[in-house]
Structures are given as C-alpha cells and as structure tokens.
Structure 1
Amino acid sequence: MQRFDYVIVGAGSAGCVLANRLSENGKYSVCLLEAGPADRYPWIHIPIGYGKTMFHKTYNWGFQTEAEAHLNGRRIYQPRGRTLGGSSSINGLIYIRGQARDYDEWAALGNPGWSWEKCLPYFKKLEHNDLPDAPTRGRQGALWASSINVRHPLVDAFIEASRLNGVPLTRDFNDGTQEGVGYYQLTTRRGFRCSTSVAYLRPARKRRNLTVKTGAQVMRILFQERRARGVLYRHHDRDVEIQADREVCLCAGAIQSPQLLQLSGVGGAGLLRQHGIDLVHDLPGVGENFQDHLQVRLMYEVSEPITTNDELRSLSGKMKMGLQWLWNRSGPLALGINMGGMFCRSLPQENATPDTQFHFATLSADHAAGQVHPFSGCTYSVCQLRPEARGHVRIAGNDAFAAPLIQANYLSTDFDQRSTVAAVKFARRVAQSEPLARYMKREFRPGDAVRSDDEILDFCRDHASTIFHPSGTAKMGPAADPMAVVDDALRVHGLRNLRVVDCSIMPTLISGNTNVPTVMIAEKASDLILEEARSVP
C-alpha cells in the first residue's frame, strides 16, 4: 500500500490549491486523486470553450436533479468538472468574491474565523488583479482577475441604462459592497483560461513530494474506528488502497463530497442502513442544506448585426474570431460568454444589500452552450442571490459509480418566487430604457404576452435553470448545530484525520459565483492544516 502524509480527493477548484500549498514546503508527501483525465482538451483553455465542455461526456459529470416540483416536474442539468481544475476548467470564468455580509453571516452562525475581515487576507493572497492597488485587492496571487478592456456597444448600452435606473457604475464588484453595474473581471490570463489547475497545480507538478493521479475515482474512505486512514479508489479497472498518515481531505464538491461520505458510512443512520452501508458515524447533516442559484434567461432580438450570434453564424465571422485570438489573444474567443454584470436590489424594501445578479451576454441560444439563434441576439439573465430553498444530495444505493439523487427544491418558497419575479421585472425595465431600448428589436423570451406576476412566475417555472453554484451539503458549524458536518477548521465532526475543503462547507450560499470563494476556502484551509501539522510532529 502506498503511503502519503495527505491524500486529497478531487483535483478541482479546491483540490489543486491544497495540493500546491501542502506540498510547498517540501516536508510532507501529498497525493492528489482525480477521477477525470488531465486537462489537455484544447477547448478547456480557450475561454469561449465553455460552450464545448458544457455537455462533454469525458470532462463533465453531467448530473441531473430529480424532478423539481416547483419547476413543473423538470429535471435540471447540473454540470460539474471532471478533469484537473474541476469546474474551474469548464465554468463561465466570472471573477466574484461575494459580499462582506455573506462571510459575516458565516461568523455569526458560529464560525468566528470566517468573517469578511478574516477571509479578506486570503482573497488578497490568491488574487493577481490588473486593477490599480486598493486596500481590498491582491496583485501577486496565482489566480488572475483580468479586466475586459474592449468595449461592446450593447454592453455599454446595458450599463448606461442600468445607471439611469439607479444602479451605480463600478469597475470592481469585489470590494465587499458589490453593488453596481459594469464589465466583469474574468479568471483569464493573457487570453487563456486561468483554472486552478493552471494557476496552482501546474507550478507544483515538478515537486518530488507531490503525486498526481488522474483516472482515479475514489470509492470510499477507509476508517480505523473513527480515524480516516486512507481511501479506496479505482484506477484502470483495479481497486487500490492508499494510506494517509496525517489526513484525508475531501475536495470533490457539493455533490460528490457528501456522496463519498455517505458511501463510507458517514451520514444519516437511517439512509445508510436503508442501503446496507455499515455506519461509521451518524451525522445527519451530510448531504442536506443543498443550495444553488436559479437562473432566468431573458433573450432579445437585436436591431443591428453586432452580436456574437452574427459572428458565429458565418464562416467569415468564425475566421475573424479565430484570427483575433491567434494574433493577439483577443476577441470573443478570449472573453467567454458574459461580459456585462450588475448587482442590485430587486426588492429594496426587504434587502439592505444586492439581492440579484445580472449577466449580460452578446449572444442568445435556447440553453447555455446551445446553438445560437438565427438572428442578432443577446441574453440578459438574472438570479436571486440568497435563496431560501434548501435541498439535499443522497446516495441512491451502495454503488460508488452511480450518480447520487439531487433535489434542489428551486422556487419552493414564497420569498424565492417574489424575488425572482421582481428580478425579471427589473431586467425588463432596464431593457426598455435608453440607450439599451434602441437595440432591443423585440423580446424573444419570455415575450410580450407574459405580463402579470403570475405569468412571469409560470415562465420561470417552465424555463429557469441553474447557474451552476451547488453548495452547502457539508455545512460548517459548531458541534451544537445538529446539522453541521464540519467545524470551523473544516474537520468532520466526530471523526479524526478527515476534512472537507470545497464549497459544500458553505453554511449559506455566497452572493455570486462560487469559484473564487472556493479558492479562498482552500487557501485558508491550507493554513489551518499546516498550522495543526506544526503542532503534531
């Protein structure tokens, strides 16, 4: 049996960071296990390649929720990265931290080390920002925050129309306040995607104390009484045990970290006994507290042929895009999908900080990464930032290779419904305001026939989908919280030598995209792990 000090399960947004930091001083041996292949697929590294990986059978787990009662029984696609870099290798590249209030709420829930003040140093540490120096920015980190320096008339019109509707202009959504409208920053570096595999793992691969295994799907955690002693994984049709002398670190994400805990005998006793799994530790919060952002996409036909639809529909347009990228790493291929963003309050009487995020894209399609429409089009999507709905992730049996059952319960509360309808109405108000209105030839979806609140809600039930931010299923909290899975050092309650380090530990969902907060969690966790290692020779 191979032995390492640390075994990391999952080479995604968190796992690549841990692999780098835990191997950095050369004192500890580290093994990083990834079920998927290496990130050699070219479209992973070209920002607009998001459209090529969204449904890729090799690089995407392609999960589905169960039928969602409040979305008219629809099952919602849940893409998750299955390669080095994980979802940071296939996501939409938006660089967002969330609001200061998000982290202060974590602290108020019994996690004092996770306030905005305590997390900010790690956000700065990880960040390589091209904006000027400021108290909340980092300039020397591994993960790039690149500004969009080209301007598009549609995005400029969206920004100005939003400003005239009371939303302030901003260049920086990441100072903790978040409110404003402007161009997003992206996790790109000189026209390429800057995944955590590129930013963190690639510089560490040459270290002799770091072993990276791809095509290695972990089947369960191995325990000696209540101490995690290693993992069992499958590699090339062979089952392999590997020993962790110090810790096993789960970084498999909000869907697969709880799945793996349950398969290993850690979770609600009733669920595990139902599937014939020997109970190691009764921890009922495992897989519960599932949270996600639901996205509603409004689409418009544009009055001028200035959209990415127009470029993608012609051979000359595609050639132009390709040449721009090859010549100086510019153009649509270097920018991904969404250029413009806004954070504002759709229900200002009920929320003191932004409650809605808006993405503005200069293309339109029936679904994310779908074939663009045969007209000049743009997409204007909204999502409620702090949904009340809570769902779960639960194993369907004892087969480690079977997908778990995911129930999100989208739009299951009155508040979530009101917030989403209000967001759609505000988006429409902006679209009907100059200078954006002059470009909006017609509202393709939902269309003029959808007017009342009830009609808007029905449209959302029929068409809304996830914006890919599953979180919360291994909730961080004190031992007094019966649904907490990990403590504020991310150690699994009631067990030894086992941590969870990914977005599943979020007690509440971050107000925005979850990739950068997950990198922050891993940076902070690395310090917690190394500090503990220094005290235990």
Structure 2
Amino acid sequence: MAKTFALVAAAASLIHSVTAQCTTAPNQTYDYIVIGSGAGGIPVADRLSEAGHSVLLLEKGPPSSGRWNGTMKPAWLEGTNLTRFDVPGLFNQIWRDSNGVACEDTGVMAGCVLGGGVAVNSALWWKPPTRDWDVNFPEGWKSADMKSSVDKVFQRIPGTDTPSQDGIRYNQEGFERISEGLDAAGFKQVKPNEQSEEKNMTYGHSTFFIENAERQGPLRTYLETAAARSQFSLWTNTMARRVVRTGGRATGVELQCRNGAGFNGTVNVTPGTGRVIVSAGTMGSAKVLFRSGIGPTDMLNVVKKSPIDNETMISEDQWINLPVGYNLNDHVGTDIQVAHPDIRFYDFYKAYNTPIQTDVDAYLANRTGMLTTVAPNLGPIIWTEVTPSDGRTRSIQWQARVEGRTNTSMTITQYLGTGSISRGRLDITPQLNTRVVTVPYLRNATDKEAVIMGIEHMRGVLNGVANLTWVTPTAEQNTTTFVNSIPAALASRNSNHWVGSCTIGPANDGTAVVDLDTKVYGMDNLFVVDASIFPGITTGNPSAAIVSVAEKAAARILALKGTESEDGDV
C-alpha cells in the first residue's frame, strides 16, 4: 500500500509541475516521444522507460482521474480524490455532457483527456479470443505470437465482474430475465475472461477494469509505474501538431499548448537514435501523419492548402504516399429493445447532480451500492457466430443495458465484429479536423446478411421469456425490413470502437501504413502503436486488444538493433 501511495504522489507532482502554465518546450531531448496517452501510448511509454530510455508522453487534453490531478467532478465528490472518470456510476455521463472531455477535432466521440478512451469508456475488459488475431492480423501477430503479450496484460489488469466491494451485483432483474431466454435456447453461462475462447452460444456478466470500485486499467497500472521513473516525463494539455522530419528521419515533434497550459515549440528526440511513436488513436494518429506529410496525396494537399498549416507543411518532395485513413472499421451497431415488468431503470444521469443520498453514502464510505455499477447497468453480454452465404463466419457480441424508451426497457446492441468485410475511410478538412467520409457499415451484402441472421436468431431466443414484449422491432415487424430501415450512418450505427486507419502489413504495397515492427513505411524512426494499426475489428470492445498490441509493439521496437544506443544494445 505504501508503494502505491508513493507512486500516486510522484504522479501528481509530475503533472502539477508541467501543466501550471503554457510555456516554451525546454531544450531537452528524449530517446522516445510518445504522442497520445491512451490504451496504446501509456503501455508503450511504460515499457520503453522500464528498459532505461528517456520517454516523453504527450497528451493534448487535461488530466482525468483525481489521482492524476483531474478536477472534473460533481459537487458530491468535492473533498475526495475522485472525479467523474473514477466512479463507475458516472461513466455514461459523457453521452450527456462531454464538454472539456471529448475531442473537438475528430468528427466522432473520442476522449481528449489523460487516458484517452480508457478514461472515458465503460471500462469493459475482454480477453481477446484467438480468432481476433488469427482472422485479422498478419504473420508475426497471430494468436500464438500474441499469447505472451496478452498474458502480461491480464496479469497486470485482471478485471472483475463484481465491482462492488460487498460482492453484490445490484438491480439484476434485466440480466435474469434475458438469461431465462438464453438458458432455454441452449446458451452456456461462462466467466468470460476465464473461458475467453467460448464466443458462440455463450453469455456472462460484464467484466470491467475496475478495482476498489474505481476505474483502474492502464491509468492505474502502466502509467503509475512509468511515473515513478526519473527517465519518464508526462506533458498534458500539449498537442502534437506534426512530426518534424527530414526525409525519412524524425527529429522531433512540433507542439501546441491547449487550455492555457502545456507546451509550445518543438521538442526533439535524441540525435541519431531517438524515435517518435504516434499513439493518438484511430482518428488522431491519422491526423498527425497527414500534418507530417504522410498519407494519400489528396489529403496532403488539403493540409498544404489549409489556413493553419500552409506555411509549415513539409515540402512536396518529401511527402510519403501511404494509405492513411483507409481500411477504417468499427463494430456495426444495431439496437433492439425489449421491455419486461420486472426491469427497473436506475437514473445514472440524475445521479451526477442530484443523486440518491444513501447511494452516495454507500459508495463514499464503503465502495458499495448502485454507484459501483457501471452505468447504465450493463449485462448480460452475449456471444454468437453466424455464417452467411459467402461462407465467412462473423463474430457477434451483444451488449444489454437497462435503458430504453420506458423505465422497464432494455436496449441490446448487436456488435458485428471479427470476420466483417466492410470498410470505410476518414479524411481531413481544411480546418484540420478528421471525419468519417466513407462509413464502414454494411457496405458488403453478406455483412448485412449476417446482421439479419443474428437478429432473427436473437428474436427467437428472447421470445421464450415470459411477459417480455418487443419495443423495436415490433413483434409484427419483419427482421429484414427492420434492419433495412436503419440507415448505415454514424448517427444510427456508430459503436465508437474505431480501428484501422494506419493498418499494419508485411509489405509496402499500398495496403499498409506500418510494417510488422509498427514502423511507418518510408521512415527510419517513426512508429504507430494504437487501434489504428488493426487490420480488422475485434469480437468485442477492443481496449484489452489495444493494450496487448502495445505490449507486443514495445517488445518489437526495443528489439530493433542499432538504434537504441551507440552500440546497438537494448
């Protein structure tokens, strides 16, 4: 316990000292500069600093968790070291109030605070099944190659399906009613991360990276150990405008301070051996590369002609033409909704400003009660597989939550995952905002066929629950008609699990942005490590897979000889 407090104290001091005002970057070099403090950037920075290298981690947003000097919180958390990001019952508040939290330049929801997605998401934590690696990733990144990295991640962050410290799961009526239909239809209840390969005709309680009924994950593991090292530095409120490079050699990162804090100017890597790692997420990493003169020519011309970068854009003779922004993917989200008289809605949104006092008391005193429940009371989580007419199996994850049109409703989202074929594209505007220009939803006919097959099956399963009624689709509505009635658009299909804009691949053949060491093609010392390198979407929420990729990437980057030090030793 004393060690934990020491780590937290060191971390708080670290952030406070570098975010007090907007200042010019010091004349200091770093062996590694990591752009972005999400599920990719934090573990990479930790592993590189652990290996003895000087590491600077950049985050464009402010601190999030109270343990990192975050300040965004409701009144009832004043006087505690907790913020809105720490308390499970407040996680869903981002969909009601994302001011100062969400990125303003991505076109879709993304977290621009310390921790990125793992600071603002629902903390769902799934061990990736082997199929996610074997279907999606190239040789060298298959399940056998990833096992060691995945094991390391789950040793540090095992997750829990009982966040409350009294071991009670609260308001489980929704879980119980849905489970009745699943059991009758032959589904098997599993402990998801102990039986991670069982992803067909199974269900279980949601698993979260929560500890002591507070958000944990990379912010409470990898970042704490990194912050305890003298060779690690963290700058928040500091945006990376672009990677400064000469040809294929990155020499530093140009910065822009934000929120009246952070750093301006340019920070440089160690001459001859330093490296830059871009870990700004699927939207953010693409933007950094575009502004650095790396990407399709049409996008680089947009940046060149923009009112912001027209004078600082690298010259055209140094542009690197790579398919940045292509292969964009996300889970296809399709909501169905049912109602049952036993279901009870708990108003987690109201709990932000006007909570039930007994629930506040239980949480603050004992870390028990409804506010330990991840809003809006998720579960069960269900897995099925379907194989449409093309013979390619699709994995589906179903996420139920107690929320809907009435106080007795549950919404169940179907996530079409591993095996899906449809892809999209993101681009950049003259204002230098990224956006989804081609949505990746159901562009392939057999992907839509898979969605229809999955929903038709689930309708039959849930029809076995006594007193359950259908809200949408209605009981009389044809499944195909229902699916066709939902536009393949961001507003109706977005699951916000974006991957793929900087794809990994074994050859510079126009389909990949980074090689098997995550190094950008055409560059000597520039890497991308985050969800953007995923060739395809995962079965379920990808947080654990991203951290696993970061573990693997750090090992591969450190193994590259001849660049870590003068004599080439790691």
Q: Same fold (TM over 0.5)?
A: yes
Contact kept, 8 Å, 1:2 with 1:241, in 2: the verdict is no
Which residue in the other structure is 2:325 paired with?
287
Q: What is aligned with 1:517?
A: 545
Could you tell me which amino acid in structure 2 is paired with residue 157 of structure 1? R
The structure 2 residue matched to 1:224, chosen from 246, 255, 258, is 246
Distance 2:488 2:302 in 1: 33
Partner of 1:475, secondary structure, is coil
Q: Are residues 197 and 184 of structure 1, via their aligned partners in 2, closer, same or farther at CA, if it must alter by over 3 Å?
A: same
1:175 matched to 2:196? The reply is: yes
Q: 1:325 to 1:265 in 2, by over 3 A?
A: same
2:159 is matched with 145
SS in 1 for 2:84: helix
Alignment of 1:13-52 (within 5 A): 13-25=39-51, 27-39=52-64, 40=70, 41=72, 42-52=83-93
Distance 1:348 1:333 in 2: 41
2:448 corresponds, among 399, 417, 425, to 417
* Aligned equivalent of 2:148, options 121, 133, 136: 121
Counterpart-to-counterpart distance in 2, 1:345 and 1:380: 16
Are the equivalent residues in 2 in contact too, given 1:358–1:380 (CA < 8 A)?
yes
The 5-angstrom pairing of residues 93-242 of structure 1 reads 93-107=123-137, 111-127=138-154, 140-141=155-156, 143-148=157-162, 150-151=168-169, 152-173=172-193, 175-179=196-200, 180-235=202-257, 239-242=264-267
Greater shift, 316-325 or 156-165, is seen at 316-325
Q: Does the 8 A contact of 1:88 with 1:196 survive in 2?
A: yes
Residue 335 (structure 1) shift: 2.6
| Inter-partner Cα distance in structure 2 for 1:310 and 1:38 | 23
Q: CA deviation at 1:486?
A: 0.6
Matched-pair contact (CA < 8 Å) for 2:238–2:264: no
Measured on the aligned residues, the alpha-carbon RMSD in Å equals 2.7
Range 419-428 or range 521-530, more displaced: 419-428
| Residues 508/119 of structure 1: CA separation in 2 closer, same or farther (3 Å cut) | same
Paired position in structure 1 for 2:520: 492
Q: Structure 1 stretches of 5 or more lacking a match?
A: 66-77, 128-139, 365-372
Whole-angstrom distance in 2 between the partners of 1:62 and 1:261: 18
Task: Tell me how far 1:22 sits from its aligned partner.
Answer: 1.2
Structure 2, unpaired ranges of 5+: 1-26, 65-69, 73-82, 305-312
Which has the larger strand fraction? 1
Q: Which moved more, 1:151-160 or 1:456-465?
A: 456-465
Matched, 1:56 2:89: no
Question: Residue type matched to 2:267 in 1?
Answer: I
Secondary structure, in 3 states, of the residue corresponding to 1:254? helix
| Residue number in structure 2 paired with 1:87 | 117
Find 1:244's aligned residue among 257, 269, 276: 269
Distance 1:119 1:324, change over 3 A: same
Residue 556 of structure 2 aligns with an amino acid whose one-letter code is L
Are positions 1:432 and 2:473 aligned together?
no
1:81 deviates by 1.1
In the TM superposition, residue 460 of structure 1 has moved relative to its aligned partner by 5.7
Is the Cα contact below 8 Å between 2:285 and 2:532 reproduced in 1? Answer: yes
Contact 1:94 1:513 (C-alpha < 8 Å) held by counterparts: yes
Using the TM superposition, name which of 384-393 and 33-42 deviates more.
384-393
- Return the letter of the residue paired with 2:429: A
Mean alpha-carbon deviation: is it higher for 527-536 or for 261-270?
527-536
Q: Is the 8 A contact 2:61 2:113 kept in 1?
A: yes
- Superposed, 1:207-356 pairs within 5 Å as 207-235=229-257, 239-245=264-270, 246-276=274-304, 277=313, 278-279=315-316, 280-304=318-342, 306-309=344-347, 318-336=356-374, 337=376, 338-347=378-387, 355-356=395-396
Structure 1: which amino acid aligns with 2:504? M
Deviates more, 1:294-303 or 1:5-14: 294-303
Counterpart residue type for residue 221 of structure 1: V
Which of 393, 397, 403 is matched with 1:363 structurally?
403
1:444 matched to 2:471: yes
Higher mean C-alpha displacement, 385-394 vs 321-330: 321-330
Counterpart amino acid of residue 361 in structure 2? L
Taking the aligned partners of 1:378 and 1:455, their CA distance within structure 2 comes to: 18
Offset of residue 256 of structure 1: 1.0
- SS of 2:552's partner is helix
**C-alpha deviations, 1:438-488, integer Å up to 9, x for none?**
3x2x32333345325123321465873322110011110012532111111
Distance 1:231 1:64 in 2: 20
Number of aligned residues: 494
| Equivalent pair of 2:125/2:207 in contact (CA under 8 Å) | yes
Q: C-alpha separation between the residues in 2 aligned to 1:354 and 1:146? A: 27
Deviation at 1:317, TM superposition (A): 7.8
